[in-house]
Structure formats: structure tokens, C-alpha cells
Structure 1
């Protein structure tokens, strides 16, 4: 059973820690997007904010990957949580004292971008260390559930909290969430598997070793690139949603928050359904199915503007993106060597962040000159590219490649 994995103390504490930090991140991200749109009336400003968020993460990704592979991954997350929570709490005080100021918003965004990049690289590497290979699909399903429960709760309350208490209160709650998440993470105990020889190498040489590892396995590298496409479209979704709700649906922050909540519900469902679906369909067919579903739903949202359809569409997009991530992450964790996992994840995250940065600002400009529906059409196109790339890579592999789960190098 899926939830039997929570009987183990280590994974159970990591699971609760992940839910709480996801709640904090989701709540502040939703709140910041609506706050900026509320104060400026510009989708371009929202897009620039998210572009800055991912650009900050992109610029630090080489350091993050090496940091994750050289040091205890739990300690990396703990220090990042404490520092992030302290800085965000300080920024909330600035807002209370000085009022709205885009400089403070930019500072928050930079901190959020760097912190998220560190967390994604270190937490997924930590997961690989505390799970066995036989637990990877169930483990990744539960990780997706934990992330989406956090986002679901954030979507449910952020619009209401913003409407009644303001963005400053949301920031305070965000800082508190990181500290509470750290409490559960402290209770995770395991024996770290860091390569002592690599730990003694320079950061540059260490990072280059990770790049060389991926260069020797081009199919694995491309598969990792395909795996970050759903994450990229999720960022674009966050740019589109405020303007879509405000301009096309003529609704308020509560509808905005509920829309995000339905995305979280879809992601939550994927965590429960992933292990059941794979019993009926092969992994390639599952990935193909959900890439196709997301493409169609996003295209439909671009042309049909109804509140109820946005709620349903958000749920189906969350279901599709999360299901793709669960199966592709399980595959990557199975085949990437543990000592290279942090650097491999940081390379793929870096590519994702670079794409997100350009798309976030570009989509914001496009929406200001057209309408928010065009953003969903663009999202549909991105998912279609992911579907085509996946089919191409899968069919170009030999039977031996498939048997060895894409781990073979270019020598095959």
C-alpha cells in the first residue's frame, strides 16, 4: 500500500516537512502574484516578477548542485530554510513599516528563487538517499502528494488571507512555515552517502564532473530535459492566472486562490493514482497520455473562458503535470548515480529556470498586448513539444536501451 511507506520514521518526517514548506511557498507565490497585479494592474509586472524569481535560481544553479553533492543534504536544506525564513520575516516588517515597494517585492522574489532551487536539488537528492530502488515510484507519488497538499492548502487560504489580512500577513506565515518544516526535517536521520574523494575536490572540478557525467549519457540528459517541461508550464500558468481571472473572468482573489487550489487537487490525485495507472499502462504510454491530455486542456482554456471550466481545467492540468513528473522522476532516481544526483538535478533545473525566465516575462508582455487566453495556447504548444520529444526519444532507442532504462551512454 502507498501509505505503508509513512510507517518509516525518516520518510514520514520528510513527508510532513515537505507539505509545510510547500504550503509556505505556495501561499507567498500566489499572494505575491495577486499583490503585484493589484498594485500595478500590469501582467508584464507579474511576468517580470516570476522571471526574476527563476533567474535568481538559474544564476546559482552550478553552486547549488555542487553544494548538494558535497555536503550533507539534510543540513543544506535546514540552513536554507532557516536563512530563508529569517529574511522573509524581515521583509514582512519592511512592508508593515514602509508600505508597498517593488524593491521589497524584488528582494523577496530573489530569496524565493534561490531558496527554491536549493530545495528542489537537495530534497530530491535526499529522497534518493532515504529510499530504496523498489520504493521510488511510491516514494515519488507521496512526494508529489506532499507538494500538492501544501499547494492545495495554500490555494484554499491565500486568496482569503490576502483579502482580509493583506500580503504582509502571508509573508509572516511563509517564514513560520519554513521554521516548522525544519522541525520535522531535524527528526530525519540517515547515513549520508557522500563520496569523500569528490568532497575534497574544488567546486569547479566537482561541477565539471557532473557535466561530464551527463555528456556521457545523452539519452539520460535529454530525458531529464523533457522531465522539466511540466515544471516550466506550471510557472507560465502562474503568470497567466492572475490576469485570466481578473480580466477574462472578471473575478477576484478568492476565485484566483480557488483556481490554484484545484491545480493542487489535480496534483494530489496524481499521487494516489500514479501507482495504479502504471499497473494498467506502461510508463511510456502513461507519459504520452498525460502529455496529450494537458495539451488539449490548455488549448481549450485559451478559447473557452468560464469559471467552472477554469476550475476543472486547472485540476486536469495539475493531474497531468504531476503524473508526468512522478514517473519521470522515479525513472531518473533509478538510473542516476547517487553521487551525481544533485549536480544532474541542478543542470536540469538550470535549463528549466532559464526557459521559465524568458517565458515568464515574454508571456506577461504578450498578455498585456492581447489577452490572458493566449498564454494557455502557448502553454499547450510547449506541452506538445514535450510530447513530440518524448515520442521521438522513446522510439529512437534500441530494445537494449529500453531494457536498461536509458542509462546507457553514447557507446551503445
Structure 2
């Protein structure tokens, strides 16, 4: 690979463009939540939009990864950003003329989700081509840290703009961030993917092999069941969070925005900590177990202690514990799954883990219309605590992910040496 600095033109343009786009995504997310909650007071509509978005991402992501490998990644990135900007601009115009309705957001949700589904794998596959191999870890770290920062400040910016101006300005700013990102990416030089001869049914064969890998390995199947169950009872809580903030905490849009920023702030602190102190293998199981339990204990407590300051602290801690839990599980999965099967597994892992989330979000939108939200937090927290304890105590296959044999570790060391 040609020697070049980390902060070369291509990296800077992509990094600035995507940072701008991430900020716009967070603003758009908050705009949808604010508008549906304060305009319609409807968890049903919010649950519908979120379930359609999640379902689209789950369905399109597997296909998008294959297309990204076959066509120009540069133009996939540019078109995804520009198309997102154009779609959100239409929503902004409707909002400015007071013509925006709930069904408009439902209609646009799958198109915007599809753009994101193509954008993410394209971005991930481009970085190794625009920075040197020795700088790749730093490039990913810089991208991850800037992403967390914009996830933290995005809701705060959205809350201030919403309170001072109107929802139309939020959508307009979101649209501009996508358009600016797409414009900057036009000037990036990305090497074309090598044309590789592929068998006609290679995608189907790889998909079938990935399914067989999971079904025949009880440890991997246990991980997917665990993740799917937590998503079924955990992911939908975001649907009822706006109602919880408005009616139980009596939060202003600015306070609500700070609470939405709390988890990303916790995640940022955890990422910074783990970059300095990496837990050893022996302690990773305990870190995973206690962090996972801690998230849902705090969730249940949010249903008991109805106080804005407590909720902010709890959400920051949940962000920290989420990173510890996900980091240890993902790291051990990367080591457990063989090098040749890793791509297929993680592709299916994401799809299968989210498979039931769209339905659960929709159902939560209906339940949230009639049930007091603190009760939902308590029940969801207790159910997920029970799931974690059951799988971790009674399913030895699940724990095997964290207990690699000496032979397996020696094999990994020989590969990386």
C-alpha cells in the first residue's frame, strides 16, 4: 500500500462528512421523537416508525453488504447521503408549511433506513483503502470517538432548536448535514474494488453455511437467543421513553435532550477507559455478567425512582455498562468464531438478533398508550435480569464463549504472529 499520512485528504473528507452526517442523524432522531410525542402524544405512532426502521435495516443490511462488494463504494456512500438529505428536505418543507402528518414519517422511514443500511457497510469497507494498515486502528478509534461526541451533543442541539424555533428547522438542519456530507464525499479518491469471479449462487451458499454454523453450535445459538431476548424486552423501551419524560418526569425538551445524551456520554467514558485499561481474559466473564445485570437493575430502578437527576445518572451508568457488556461479548465472539466463518456469522448475528425487535417495538407502542411507563420499566428490567441469570447459570454452552481452550488460543496467537 502506498505510504501516506493518517490525516490525508481522503480520510479527512470522509471523517468530516460522516461526522456531519452522524450529527444530522441524531438531530433527525430527536426531531421525530419530539414531534410525534408533543404533536400527537402517541407511543403507537413512534413505535410504528421505529419498528419499520428497524425491520428495514435488518432486511436490507444483508443484501447491502453484498452490493457494496460488487459496485462503487464511493458512489454508494455519496448517493446514500444525498438521497437521505433530499428525503429529509421534503419532510422539512412539509413541516414549515404545517402540512407534516404522522403518516409522512411512516412513509419515509423505510427509505431513510435503506440509505443507512447501504451507507454503514460501505463506510466500514472504505477505511482500509484510504489509510495505511498501521493507522487503521487509530482511524477507527478517531471515527468512533467523534461519533460518540456527536451522539452526545446532537440531542442537546435538537432540544434547544426545538424550544427556540420549530420542528421544521430541526429537519432542515438534518437535511443540510446529509447534503454537506454527500458533497464532501464527491472529492474522495477511493480505489475501485477488484472484480472477483463469483459463482452464481455463492451468496445463497454462504448464507446457508452461516445458518448451519449457528444451528450446529449450541454456544453461538445461545448467544443469539440471549441477544434476541434482550432486544425483544429492551429495545422497545425507547418507544415509551418520550412519554415517560413528558408525563412522569415533566421534562422540558432541553431536559429530555440531556437525558437522551446521557447514554452516549456513558459510552464515551467507557470507551475512553477501555482504551487505557483493557480487562484480562480471566475477568471478562465477570465483567460481562455484572455489567449486563447492572443495566437492567438500573432500568427497573428508573421505574421506581421518578427523578430527573437520578435518571440522568442512571442513563450515564447504563451507557458505561452497555459498552463493558457488548465489548466483552463481541471480543470473545471474535476469538471464538474461526477466521473463515467470522464474516458470515456476524452478518447473520446482527440480522437474527434484531429479528423480533420491529414487532416488539410496534407492540410496545400499543401498550404504551394504556400502561403507566414506570411499570413497563420495572417489568422489562426484571424480565431481562431473569433472562441473563437463567442463561448464564443454567446454560454452560453460553459461558463456553468466554472459555477458549489453550489449543484455540495458541492457534489464534500463531495466526496473529
**Which of the five TM-score ranges fits, normalised by the shorter chain?**
0.7 to 0.9
Q: Deviations over 1:208-238 (max 9, x none)?
A: 4234135335455765676678877774342
| 1:333–1:191 distance in 2 versus 1, CA, 3 Å | farther
Does residue 396 (structure 1) correspond to residue 400 (structure 2)? The answer is: yes
What is the TM-score with the length of structure 1 in the denominator?
Answer: 0.80
What does 1:173-184 align with in structure 2 at a 5 Å threshold? Answer: 173-183=173-183
**TM-aligned CA deviation for residue 339 of structure 1:** 10
2:207 is matched with 210
- On the 8 A contact 1:291/1:384 being kept in 2, the answer is no
Does residue 385 (structure 1) correspond to residue 384 (structure 2)? The answer is: no
| 3-state SS of paired residue (1:268) | helix
Q: More deviation in 362-371 or 216-225?
A: 216-225
2:415 is matched with none
1:303 is matched with 304
Q: More deviation in 125-134 or 25-34?
A: 125-134
1:263 is matched with 263
Distance in structure 2 (CA, Å) of the matches to 1:243 and 1:262? 17
Q: More deviation in 331-340 or 177-186?
A: 331-340
| 1:179–1:30 distance in 2 versus 1, CA, 3 Å | same
1:19 is matched with 19
Q: Alignment length, in residue pairs?
A: 399
- On the 8 A contact 1:301/1:313 being kept in 2, the answer is yes
Q: Deviations over 1:324-352 (max 9, x none)?
A: 444555566676769974x6555333334
**TM-aligned CA deviation for residue 29 of structure 1:** 1.0
- On the 8 A contact 2:154/2:261 being kept in 1, the answer is yes
2:114 is matched with 114
Relative to its length, the structure with more helix (as a share) is 1
| 3-state SS of paired residue (2:355) | helix
What is the TM-score with the length of structure 2 in the denominator?
Answer: 0.79
| 1:7–1:59 distance in 2 versus 1, CA, 3 Å | closer
**TM-aligned CA deviation for residue 147 of structure 1:** 2.5
| 1:320–1:236 distance in 2 versus 1, CA, 3 Å | farther
1:410 is matched with none
| 1:345–1:225 distance in 2 versus 1, CA, 3 Å | farther
| 1:370–1:254 distance in 2 versus 1, CA, 3 Å | same
**TM-aligned CA deviation for residue 10 of structure 1:** 5.6
| 3-state SS of paired residue (1:196) | coil
Distance in structure 2 (CA, Å) of the matches to 1:27 and 1:93? 16
5+ residue gaps in structure 1? 408-412
| 1:280–1:401 distance in 2 versus 1, CA, 3 Å | closer
5+ residue gaps in structure 2? 413-417
The structure that has the greater radius of gyration is 2
Distance in structure 2 (CA, Å) of the matches to 1:15 and 1:224? 32
**TM-aligned CA deviation for residue 36 of structure 1:** 0.7
Distance in structure 1 (CA, Å) of the matches to 2:21 and 2:155? 14
> CA RMSD of the aligned region, Å?
3.8
| 1:190–1:115 distance in 2 versus 1, CA, 3 Å | closer
**TM-aligned CA deviation for residue 178 of structure 1:** 1.6
Q: More deviation in 115-124 or 308-317?
A: 115-124
Q: Deviations over 1:338-375 (max 9, x none)?
A: 9974x655533333443321221222222222211234
- On the 8 A contact 2:224/2:353 being kept in 1, the answer is no
Q: More deviation in 131-140 or 304-313?
A: 131-140
Distance in structure 2 (CA, Å) of the matches to 1:136 and 1:386? 35
- On the 8 A contact 1:236/1:356 being kept in 2, the answer is yes
